[in-house]
Amino acid sequence: MGLTKKDILWNLLAQMFSLLTGILTLPLILSKLTVEEIGVNYIMLTLGSIVVLFDFGFSSQFGRNINYIFNGVSDLKKEGVQVVEKNEEVNYQLLATMIKTAKYVYIKISSFALITLLTIGTLYIYKITSHFETVNNIGLIWLLFSISIFFNIYFTYLNSLLIGKGLITHSNKAIFFSKILYVILIFTFLNLGFGLLGVVLSGLISPFFQRYFSYKYFFNEEIKNSIKDKIVTIQQKNDLFNSLWFNSKKLGLIAIGSYFVNKFNLFIAGVYLPLSEVASLGLLIQLFAILTIISNTIFALFQPRFTMYRVKNKINLLLCDFAFSMIFFYFIYFLGGLFIIKFGPYLLTLLKSNVQFPEIEIVLIFAIISLLEANHSNFATLILTENKVPFVKSTIFLGIAIIIGNIVSIKYSNLGILGLILVQGIVQASYANWKWPKVILNFFGISFWQFLLVGFNEFKLKILKFSYVR
């Protein structure tokens, strides 16, 4: 789980290229697609994120438990984690069982997602496109998009394997190569006049590239030789599934609640607002989602280490690395948010975009709400490293509150996009924004200001002196 300069450079390269992918392709999408196509594209992505909820927390569960296995844990608990005081051998029988179980679970999940998209999803697309009239080839587009979601979900197990083993560099290489192909494809298809169909085709083809490299990187000769003779019985898979399901069902409920917290506004906007406003809100969500990913570069890199520190009971190191990752997050988010607010509208005009930002006040409010959301999500993720999930009820309750608030706002006020954004912010501020940071700070026994001080000190030590890499 040691973090090297190579790990950091590849992670930054992958994350920056993900951002660059958006920068390179977004102008083409905004200029080559009609406003209706752009609106439908954002809605399709939102619907795709709904079926990803069928993952039900298994991706993080598999990743975390694989991490436990490679750190010498041989007894996977339903809740809590076995502390390993000394170096232990990897239990390859348990690893083989985990891999078989992961593949079995994800073929089931991806199949169910495909069926849902082709039935319920088709009815929704039929409605918002005025009986398949407002967008050319929408039937074929929707079919290919649904198939792409199937493969994206199924290939998730490979990413869990890489992250669980701590192969950060290899995971990011696979992402990087896949993104290169995506950019090439989308430029080719859009310039050939494929429209939204070209965007969907690019999203269907490029994940196979990531799958190829992910499989190659994880299943090296050592892993293949160590698990090839391991026989995994149905009973072993069922026992492991039941153990994982204890927390996965909680994470799944949290994912559902989180979806309604963060994505329901775009879904309901598709029903009640013009596609031009949907496109505007979707663009705003996309840009700040990209910013959050970039800002969380170090946090994402350190997640396997956070889990290792829990297993090894190294609480001081956990505090130092987590505080550092959050200072990095605040710094990058502030700079990126300032850039979007200041130059975003100008750049869209320069690019002759068919979609524009909402009013600058709305963008600023959304930036603050997104910051608070990402902040408490990171603190909540640290709680999960202990294999405990204390936020099920609150997330479901907040999700329901946002559903009701969004419906009331959209039907009984003329606030439009602003109302949807405000509902999300107010509901989150009432509990989640402060609760989960408070839990972690109490665990460390420090105040938020002391936490920031630790983070700043680590920032000086690690960034300025580069002492945390080999």
Q: Report whether 326 contacts 299 (CB < 8 A).
A: yes
Distance CA 36, CA 187 (A): 20
Q: How far is CA 43 from the centre of its chain?
A: 17
Q: Report DSSP letters for 224-252, one per residue.
A: HHHHTT----HHHHHHHHHHHHHHHHHHH
Residue in this structure with the two tokens 């099920």, named with its chain if needed: 392
Q: Is residue 59 situated within a structural domain?
A: yes
Q: Is residue 264 situated within a structural domain?
A: yes
Q: Is residue 393 situated within a structural domain?
A: yes
Residue in this structure with the two tokens 């799944």, named with its chain if needed: 252
Tokens found for residue 452: 């920031």
Distance CA 429, CA 297 (A): 25
Distance CA 465, CA 287 (A): 32
pTM for the complete prediction?
A: 0.62
**How far is it between the farthest Cα atoms of the chain?**
65
**Which residues have a Cβ under 8 Å from the Cβ of 436 and sit 6 or more positions away?**
376, 379, 380, 383, 391
User: Over its length of 470 residues, how does the chain's per-residue pLDDT go in tens digits?
Assistant: 455 566 666 666 766 666 667 667 777 787 788 888 888 887 887 777 666 666 666 777 777 788 778 777 766 666 555 555 566 677 888 888 888 888 888 888 889 889 988 998 888 888 878 777 777 888 899 999 999 989 988 888 888 888 777 777 787 788 888 888 988 998 899 888 888 899 899 989 988 988 898 888 888 888 888 888 888 788 888 877 877 777 677 766 766 666 666 666 676 776 777 777 777 888 888 789 888 988 888 898 788 788 788 877 889 999 999 999 999 999 999 999 999 998 888 877 776 667 777 888 899 999 999 999 999 999 998 988 877 777 778 878 888 888 888 888 888 888 888 888 899 899 999 999 999 999 999 999 999 999 999 999 988 887 665 544 44
**Which residues have a Cβ under 8 Å from the Cβ of 9 and sit 6 or more positions away?**
none
Look at residue 193 in the predicted model and tell me its pLDDT: 86
Amino acid at 64: R
Distance CA 454, CA 327 (A): 9
Q: Is residue 333 situated within a structural domain?
A: yes
Instruction: Using only the alpha carbons of the chain, give its radius of gyration.
Output: 22
Could you count the other beta carbons within 10 Å of the beta carbon of residue 97?
23
The residue range of the domain holding 379 is 5-464
Say how many domains are in the chain: 1
Report which of 269, 252, 210 is spatially closest to residue 105, judged by C-alpha positions.
252
Q: Is residue 470 situated within a structural domain?
A: no
Look at residue 470 in the predicted model and tell me its pLDDT: 42
- Residue 6 backbone dihedrals phi, psi, to 5 degrees: -65, -40
For CA atoms 87, 92, 98, 103, give the dihedral sign.
positive
Q: Is residue 297 situated within a structural domain?
A: yes
Q: Report whether 38 contacts 282 (CB < 8 A).
A: yes
Q: Is residue 469 situated within a structural domain?
A: no
For CA atoms 405, 406, 408, 412, give the dihedral sign.
positive
Distance CA 18, CA 439 (A): 32
Q: Report DSSP letters for 428-464, one per residue.
A: HHTTHHHHHHHHHHHHHT--HHHHHHHHHHHHIIIII
For CA atoms 108, 110, 112, 118, give the dihedral sign.
negative
Q: Is residue 280 situated within a structural domain?
A: yes
For CA atoms 80, 82, 85, 87, give the dihedral sign.
negative
Tokens found for residue 1: 């789980």
User: What are the angstrom distances between the C-alpha of 459 and each of 146, 325, 334, 466?
Assistant: 43, 8, 16, 10
Q: Report whether 399 contacts 261 (CB < 8 A).
A: yes
**Side-chain half-sphere of 325: how many Cα atoms within 13 Å?**
26
Residue 413, classed as helix, strand or coil, is coil
